[in-house]
């Protein structure tokens, strides 16, 4: 059966009825797997970084509703998105301490719609990259205030930059949703907070600088909110703690350490990202598939035996503008995720990059997927959602 927009809409009420009760609690961690209301929780999910940005304009909110509704009907249960927009167009934070209430209400809407459609959210606090501000905007603000900043990686060590960041964390976590009237810190619709999208530090490749920053900021988050899970936002590059593991990296380091960064007590689960078409550009599809399997499997082994925490493939994708079949690539990744998840649930789920609504071509980075627009891709995504949910259910059955 192929999913069309009509089929997705037809299944929606049934899916919502089956899931609304199950999504009433906070997602937690037990041993090396996620739990929801005492039962194992596995998922298939997606990235849609743009939700708050679009929802800041009320006339465009239908795009948010479309994606969450179609994703929910296809069985997708977790979405990762930005809870930041520092400076620039539709900025959430116009300058340090100055927020645009209209944009915050856009994020309120995203959370309320996610709750309506049974989708959990992972909300990220800041970007490594310049999109939507990132470290570079923090540095510019600090320089405008008269601080001496040598480079963007001072983000991890300079007291003023750390103050700006902590202030934003507190502003978001303590926000009272204008629609639901529930504080973010008390809302189980939020699955987890993310410290940073893809932290990197070109000034210290050992990972120690980022490690100290993660420890400080993770402790700060947990001092404000001990109900929600917390993750770093890492791509998964290995550092100095286990030198032999560096051979797993795609030929370079980025100043993080998958092992030490995730061993921090306040970090509840590990994440990895994977873009073989970027990291291994020029290599054959077979070579990229083989590397991808090694990348996921090595991190799963370490999550299970060293970190003893769940693992999420938090970003992966294949550009439609490149060589090879995206459907074949996604099927292979999903099969790998499922097979590892069967071994006790440490491999807990994956989040494809990225879902868009109809009419968002100007946002398309080559990785855009519109559910229902390409039936074969939609079917692959939906099938993975259902087999992961079935696997979680099977773990809960007496053996």
Contacts of 349 (CB under 8 A, 6+ apart): 42, 43, 44, 45, 78, 312, 313, 337, 341, 388
Catalytic entry in 35, 113, 194, 198 = 198
Is 315 a catalytic site residue? yes
Q: How far apart (Å, rounded) are the C-alpha atoms in residues 165 and 167?
A: 5
Is 57 a catalytic site residue? no
What is the β-pairing status of strands 33-36 and 39-41? Answer: antiparallel
How many alpha carbons lie under 13 Å from residue 212 in its C-beta half-sphere?
11
- Alpha-helical (H) ranges within the chain are 5-19, 51-55, 61-73, 101-116, 134-144, 159-173, 208-224, 258-263, 276-279, 285-302, 326-341, 375-395
Catalytic entry in 66, 194, 235, 315 = 315
Neighbour count for residue 172 (Cβ, 10 Å): 23
Place of tokens 């008390």: 186
Q: How far is CA 375 from CA 222, 311, 319, 320, in A?
A: 42, 29, 17, 15
Q: How far apart (Å, rounded) are the C-alpha atoms in residues 181 and 122?
A: 20
Asked if omega into 194 is within 30° of 0 (cis), the reply is no
User: Which of the residues are catalytic?
Assistant: 198, 315
């Amino acid at each position: 059966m192929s999913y069309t927009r009509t089929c997705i809409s037809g299944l929606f009420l049934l899916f919502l009825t089956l899931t609304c009760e199950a999504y009433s609690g906070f997602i937690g961690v037990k041993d090396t797997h996620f739990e929801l209301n005492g039962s194992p929780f596995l998922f298939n999910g997606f990235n849609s970084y743009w939700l708050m940005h679009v929802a800041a304009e009320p006339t465009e909110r239908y795009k948010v509703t479309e994606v969450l509704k179609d994703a929910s009907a296809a069985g997708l249960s977790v979405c990762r998105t930005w809870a930041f927009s520092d400076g620039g167009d539709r900025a959430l934070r116009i300058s340090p301490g100055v927020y645009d209430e209209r944009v915050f209400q856009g994020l309120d809407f995203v959370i309320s719609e996610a709750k309506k459609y049974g989708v959990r959210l992972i909300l990220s606090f800041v970007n490594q990259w310049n999109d939507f501000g990132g470290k570079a905007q923090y540095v510019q603000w600090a320089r405008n205030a008269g601080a001496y900043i040598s480079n963007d990686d001072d983000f991890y060590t300079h007291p003023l930059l750390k103050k700006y960041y902590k202030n934003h964390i507190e502003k978001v976590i303590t926000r009272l949703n204008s629609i639901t009237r529930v504080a973010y810190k008390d809302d189980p619709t939020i699955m987890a907070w993310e410290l940073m999208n893809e932290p990197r530090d070109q000034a210290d490749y050992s990972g120690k600088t980022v490690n100290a920053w993660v420890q400080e900021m993770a402790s700060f988050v947990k001092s404000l909110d001990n109900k929600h899970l917390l993750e770093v936002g890492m791509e998964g590059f290995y550092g100095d703690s286990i030198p032999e593991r560096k051979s797993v990296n795609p030929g370079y380091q980025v100043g993080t350490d998958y092992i030490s960064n995730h061993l921090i007590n306040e970090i509840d689960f590990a994440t990895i990202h994977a873009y073989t078409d970027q990291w291994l550009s020029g290599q054959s599809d077979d070579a990229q598939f083989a590397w991808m399997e090694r990348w996921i499997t090595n991190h799963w082994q370490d999550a299970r035996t060293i970190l003893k925490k769940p693992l999420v493939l938090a970003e992966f994708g294949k550009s439609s503008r490149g060589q090879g079949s995206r459907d074949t690539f996604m099927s292979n990744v999903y099969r790998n995720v499922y097979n590892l998840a069967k071994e006790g649930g440490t491999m807990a789920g994956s989040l494809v990059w990225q879902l868009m609504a109809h009419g968002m071509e100007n946002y398309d980075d080559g990785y855009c997927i519109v559910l229902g627009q390409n039936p074969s891709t939609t079917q692959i995504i939906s099938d993975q959602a259902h087999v992961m949910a079935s696997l979680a259910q099977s773990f809960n059955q007496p053996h």
